[in-house]
Amino acid sequence: MMCTAKKCGVRFQPPAIILIYENEMKGKNRQRIMPVRNFSKFSDCGRAAEQLKNNPRHKGYLEQVSLRQLEKLFSFLRGYLLGQSLAETMEQIQRETTIDPEEDLNKLDDKELAKRKSIMDELFEKNQKKKDDPNFVYDIEVDFPQDEQLQSCGWDTESADEF
């Protein structure tokens, strides 16, 4: 199936993921409604997104839709099932998908650490300058100001005789 995904959204009653895509053979915009079954307020959004993306019936249509976007849509659906308002759900998703620079990543379990790393990878890919970009410069040289006096760490000033 040759199709280009245009928009992806969620319907709350009855629960479904809706994809608007362009059929490249006919050049027409079409809509595909993918019902969400066996999803509750206790379900894992990441797992549900993977199952939908790997479903043989929908796989060809969801190739261009990122797993992260599907997870967000399932998060909106779970928020609706929990009785949260749309603003509360959006705020919760924003907290979950941003990285706090002060957070100690060493204290996270493997699943949360993998989630944070995937968020960082996605942000890196989005901000990366590529050769095709109009503002791309191959070799950038930057002189950093030396206004402040360099602070010395204690560990590198000791002599090697003490070992």
* Each residue's pLDDT tens digit, 9-41: 999 989 999 999 988 788 889 999 999 999 998
Q: Are residues 19 and 58 in the same domain?
A: yes
**124/85 same-domain check:** no
The number of folded domains in the chain is 2
- On whether both 92 and 111 belong to a single domain, the answer is no
63 and 115 co-located in one domain? no
What's 36-65 look like in SS3?
CCCCCCCCCHHHHHHHHHHCCCCCCCCCCC
Same domain? 79 vs 108: no
Distance CA 134, CA 106 (A): 38
Task: Supply the pLDDT for residue 24.
Answer: 79
pLDDT-derived band at 91, boundaries 50, 70, 90: very high
Calculated CA dihedral for residues 76, 78, 84, 90, nearest 10 degrees: -30
The verdict on 107 and 27 lying in the same domain is: no
What is the structure's pLDDT at 31? Answer: 93
Q: Do residues 84 and 108 both lie within one domain? A: no
Residues 105 and 91 in one domain: no
Query: Which residue range is the domain that position 43 belongs to?
Result: 3-98
138, 139, 141, 142 alpha-carbon torsion, rounded to 10°: 30
- pTM of this structure: 0.69
Is 155 a domain residue? no
Are residues 32 and 93 part of one domain?
Answer: yes
Residues 106-156 have pLDDT tens digits of: 998 998 898 888 888 888 888 888 888 888 888 888 887 776 666 666 666
Residue 92 in contact with residue 84, Cβ under 8 Å?
yes
Mean pLDDT confidence for 98-110? 89
Do both 16 and 94 map to the same domain? yes
CB atoms within 10 A of CB 162: 5
Q: How many C-beta atoms surround the C-beta of residue 52 within 10 A? A: 22
Position 67 in a domain: yes
Whether 68 and 35 map to the same domain: the answer is: yes
Q: Same structural domain for residues 78 and 108?
A: no
Per-residue model confidence (pLDDT) at position 159 = 59
Give domain status of residue 138, yes or no: no
Structure confidence at residue 66 (pLDDT): 87
CB burial of residue 71 (10 Å; 0-12, 13-18, 19+): buried
> Is residue 160 in some structural domain?
no
- The reported pLDDT for the residue numbered 82 is 92
